[in-house]
Amino acid sequence: MPCTDRRRIDYQPGQAALDALDVAEGLRPDLRQQELIDWLLIVGVSAVTHQHWSPPQLLGDRRDGWKLPSGVRASR
């Protein structure tokens, strides 16, 4: 898909998202950052729409207060 046909998404991640990105980099070190974000988005939506899995509760609309679940940590 040519870049001109793509929708531009400006995104400034909160700390929990940055922490999750660190974890994901350890899981998929072969991916560049944009590929990794795409992969996470696709996997995340697939997981959330699956009936037997429930995502972590991220309460409120202040994403700066969101945290990764306690068992999820970066490998580095």
Has residue 46 been placed in a domain?
yes
**pLDDT over 60 (residue 10):** yes
pLDDT of residue 71: 73
- 29 found inside a domain: yes
- Please compute the mean of the pLDDT values over residues 9-34 and round it to a whole number: 90
Q: What is the mean pLDDT of residues 29-53?
A: 84
Quick one: which of 72, 62, 11, 63 has its CA closest to 41?
11
- Mean pLDDT for 39-67 is 76
What's this model's pTM, rounded to 2 decimal places? 0.68
How far, in Å, CA of 12 to CA of 23, rounded? Answer: 18
Cβ distance 21 to 13 under 8 Å?
yes
Position 22 in a domain: yes
Look at residue 75 in the predicted model and tell me its pLDDT: 64
Q: How far apart are CA 6 and CA 38, in angstroms?
A: 13
42 vs 25, more confident: 25
The domain tally of the chain equals 1
At 23 the pLDDT is: 92
Domain span at residue 22 reads 13-51
